[in-house]
Structure formats: structure tokens, C-alpha cells
Structure 1
């Protein structure tokens, strides 16, 4: 019953946004609303963190946990994707003289802005924790709105489930990435002394840092949510750095390690190094992982 009560409302909000076309929610309004809502929730998450007792100790714990998971995911996922690329015909790029540094710059600036909202929330929470109440309940309520808008955005992007799930390369990349990432999460839980479901929940963001930390914190664990946020933020930054090198080995490594961001943040760089033919693969792989994030995290967090 715990799993159903945790996962059910969130999944309903996501599917409602995906299946129901409300004319008021235009692509421009949805994109703007998502951006503003994500920053607001991240600020509130920072507030919840700042209000915790023994903040420094818990931040150290979250940082250490994130490093352990990050190393395990990087090693296991890249190894698995390398061999799947050899086995199932992953393509590789030719060396290029230039890169889209502007795309990297904008993505890194987005990461810096995100961190600024969290840090600002931490500072406010540290000094004003006795003045504001009900923050956790507010975050939970905003989660439903966030997932509704994400559902709207997925529909507006013309991402048809059948077409995406029939893209063989995209499905293979997604499955290998999901399996190796979850295995890394289970292994990390053993190393860190966490419950197995906590380890799986932390890694189930697949690089979507603006959602994974929000979900876990909203479901009652701000320290674990911070771990997920730092883990996925580091993963996206490293993906941006490594894509030019991974693309020369095989497409499974560059697309798979990008995780859920292969369909948005890292898509332009992947297209630059692999050519236009990689775009459907990136969208299929990224979409499969993106649609699983708001399902797997509440599912694992709901297991007692």
C-alpha cells in the first residue's frame, strides 16, 4: 500500500499531462513554468537542508555518498555500454576539429544557476528555520504540478511511445544503461550501508538532476535527495566533457552515459559528433530513461 500511495498520485499527474491536451498550457508556457517551478522547488529543497540539525555533517555524508555512486556508475555503465556497442553495432565518429563550446557553456551555466538556488535555499533555511513551516508539504504539492508539466512537455515534443520503443539501438542503449546503473546503485548501497532500495532510488535519476533530488527530498529524505542531486549533476557535467572522446569509441557509450539528458541537454553535442542519424537513437534512449525516473524513484522510495 505504501508503494501505491507514493507512486500512484505522481504517476497520475505525469500521465494526465501526457494524455490530456489543455490549450491553456502552450509549449512556451509549459517550458517557462517548468523552469520557474524547478528553481522554486530546488530553493525549497535547499531550505529543508539548511533547516536540518548537524547540517555540515549531513552535507559531508551526502557528498561522500554521491562520489561513491558516481564512480560506480561511471565505471560499470561505460564498461557495459562499450561491450554493447561492440556487440550490437554502435557507430563511432570521426575526429572533429571543433566542438560546440557554446552548448557546453550554456549547460554548465544552467548547472551553476541550479546550484545557486540550492545554496541560497540552504542559507535561508539555516537562518530562518524557525520562521517558516510546512515547507516539506509545499514541496510535495509542487511535485504534482511539476510532473503534470513534464507530461505536457513530453506530449508537445511529439514523442510517440510506440515509435520510440521500436528504435532498436535506442532501446538497447537504454536497457544497458538502466541495468548497469541500478547494479551500481545496489553495489553502492552495500558499500555505504544503505538499504538496497535507497541505493536504487538514488541512482534512478539517470542524470536528470533537476528531478531526482526533488523527488527524493519530497518523499521524505533530504539528505538522500542531496546525494541524488549531486550525483546526477556531476554525471551531466562529465557527460558534456566526455562526449567528444566517447563518440570516437562508439555511440552506445556517448549516448548511454548521457542518460536521460540525451534527449535534451546533451542532444546537440551528440548530434555534432555522430551526425543527424543519431538523433532518433538519442531521443528514444533519453525518453525511455526520462519516463522511468518519476516511476522508479517513488517505487523504490515507497518500499519499506
Structure 2
């Protein structure tokens, strides 16, 4: 892990101060982020293959994944329906729902990348040196590009503040996820700071898995990746079924992905009134993931 954990914030902050006016560069940055995520997840698979007692560690990853998934999900869903009750939104769309299975296939690609790294690591007759150092270097570059993406997402501070529902949903997700993380940490008998860090992924599976893997090793990284990916897959299935009756709950459960990956599903099944809420809540949560996760990592360092 980095000797100074907060040094990892530097590329994120530097990237956030860069404004892009060229659509071509927007596209290039988005492509670069996608490629770097695949590379780092492949390295995560390689790191998993180097673990001693791989079978028992995979069981630990599964245990962590489902414990956090149930604890965090239960806490989120206990509070989010209150927003629908107190601040109802008329969610209605005549558009046909998007084929969820096609979007789920995009998530499955990431699992295959991790699996490919794991398989290659098991097949190779020798250890690959400098995997951790290379991953850290790529992570810094990735955070720099993510900072640029967040700055150029098109949202101003005024737009965020004026959308009360989006802000309230984001705050509820943060608070209830932390409660779920604390509960899971006691169940699993792990440090509370580790549990709070795990609970601060908010659905951003790629970055959450990468940051946790860098901080605590491939077991935590794999568990965090699977936890947030499982959350997204459940959201893709649940949103079309529940968004008409519980729009704020559906948007909130999507977490950080409400501003990008699950947004087309939210728009097509919930209507245009749900879009600003989803973008604002997703943007806030996306911005908080690296900040909060690294903050809790530093507390436990």
C-alpha cells in the first residue's frame, strides 16, 4: 500500500481541474478509462492466482460479498422508500424497457477479465514480478482520467444543490451503507474501518475493487468488486419492475451507476422526470467513492 494514502488523491484532484471543450478528447478519455479498468482487473485476477490456499480465499471472498450485500442492501431499502413517501415522483414512460440481459452482458465481460487473469496466473509456471507496482501506476493514471470525467460531466454545483431529491437520495445511500458496513464488519469480525471502506463503493464496482485491492490485498479487492457488481446486476433487474411505484428507491439502489450504466434503464422505464434525480445522485456518489474509501483506508492504516 502507499506510504501516504492521501497521495492517491493528487491525480484525482489534478484531473478535476482540467476542463475539456473538445468532444474528441472526451471520447478519448472515456476510452482510456475503459481500457485501464480492464487492464487493472486482469492484474487483480493475476494477484488472486498468487494467493496461498486459493480455495479457502475464494470462499472468503464469497462470504464477504454476500454478507456485505445483504447487510448494505437491507439498510438501503429500509430507508429509501421514505423518500418516495415524503417526496413522491410521478414516474411514467411509454417507452419499451431496454433488454436488461444485454446490459448484464457488459458486466459479465468484467468478470471474464478477472477470470482470465486468474486462469493465466494458475497456468503460468512462474510468478510475474512487479504486478502490484504496475497496478498502482495504472491506478494513478486511472484516477487522473476519472477526475477529468467528473469535472466534464456537465453538472454545475448549482444544478446539484437545486435537485433536493438527488442530494437526499445520495445522503441516504451513504448513511445506510455505512450502517450496513458496520453490521457486516461485526458479523465477519473485521475492523470497522475496513467495513466502512467496503461499504463506500456505492455500486462503482471497477474503482471500488481496484482501490480495496490496492489497500488490503486481492481478497478484499475481489470481494469489493463482486459486491458492487452484484448490486448493479440486481439493480438492472429490479429497476424495470419497481420504478413506476418506487422511483426514488429504484434510483437510489442503483447507486453511483445511476448517472451512467443504469441511466438508460431508469430513463426508459421511469420517464424523463427521473433522469435529473438519477444524474445528480449518481454524480454525488461517484465523486464520494474514492474520497470516502481512501479516507477510511487511511484511518485503518
Verify same fold: TM over 0.5.
Answer: yes
Give the match for residue 280 of structure 2: 284
Give the match for residue 77 of structure 2: 78
Give the match for residue 35 of structure 1: 34
Say whether the 8 Å CA contact 1:72–1:188 is kept in structure 2.
yes
Give the match for residue 15 of structure 1: 13
Give the match for residue 117 of structure 1: 113
The CA distance in 1 between the partners of 2:47 and 2:183, in whole Å, is 28
Say whether the 8 Å CA contact 2:18–2:151 is kept in structure 1.
no
Moved more, 148-157 or 172-181: 148-157
| 2:177 maps to 1:178 | no
Give the match for residue 25 of structure 2: 26
**TM-aligned CA deviation for residue 98 of structure 1:** 3.5
Question: Does the C-alpha gap of structure 1 residues 84 and 27 become closer, same or farther in structure 2, counting only changes over 3 Å?
Answer: same
Match of 2:290 among 291, 294, 301: 294
CA RMSD of aligned residues (A): 2.1
| 2:266 maps to 1:250 | no
Map 1:48-63 onto structure 2 (within 5 A): 48-63=47-62
Gaps of 5+ in 2: none
Moved more, 254-263 or 105-114: 105-114
Q: Find the residue that maps to 2:273 and give its secondary structure.
A: helix
Gaps of 5+ in 1: none
Give the match for residue 230 of structure 2: 234
Say whether the 8 Å CA contact 1:3–1:303 is kept in structure 2.
no
Match of 1:190 among 186, 196, 204: 186
The CA distance in 2 between the partners of 1:197 and 1:71, in whole Å, is 19
Q: Find the residue that maps to 1:26 and give its secondary structure.
A: helix
**TM-aligned CA deviation for residue 85 of structure 1:** 2.0
Match of 2:204 among 204, 208, 213: 208
Say whether the 8 Å CA contact 1:62–1:226 is kept in structure 2.
yes
Moved more, 143-152 or 162-171: 162-171
Say whether the 8 Å CA contact 1:51–1:129 is kept in structure 2.
no
TM-score by length of structure 1 reads 0.92
The CA distance in 1 between the partners of 2:106 and 2:55, in whole Å, is 25
Say whether the 8 Å CA contact 1:201–1:300 is kept in structure 2.
yes
**TM-aligned CA deviation for residue 68 of structure 1:** 1.0
**TM-aligned CA deviation for residue 23 of structure 1:** 7.6
The CA distance in 1 between the partners of 2:2 and 2:159, in whole Å, is 30
Aligned length: 299
The CA distance in 2 between the partners of 1:281 and 1:97, in whole Å, is 19
**TM-aligned CA deviation for residue 263 of structure 1:** 0.1
Question: Does the C-alpha gap of structure 1 residues 173 and 22 become closer, same or farther in structure 2, counting only changes over 3 Å?
Answer: closer
| 2:175 maps to 1:154 | no
Say whether the 8 Å CA contact 1:46–1:125 is kept in structure 2.
yes
Give the match for residue 224 of structure 1: 220
The CA distance in 1 between the partners of 2:95 and 2:154, in whole Å, is 34
The CA distance in 1 between the partners of 2:4 and 2:158, in whole Å, is 28
Q: Find the residue that maps to 1:219 and give its secondary structure.
A: helix
TM-score by length of structure 2 reads 0.93
Q: Find the residue that maps to 1:230 and give its secondary structure.
A: helix
**TM-aligned CA deviation for residue 4 of structure 1:** 9.2
Question: Does the C-alpha gap of structure 1 residues 55 and 92 become closer, same or farther in structure 2, counting only changes over 3 Å?
Answer: farther
Extract structure 1 runs of 4+ deviating beyond 4 A.
22-25, 94-97
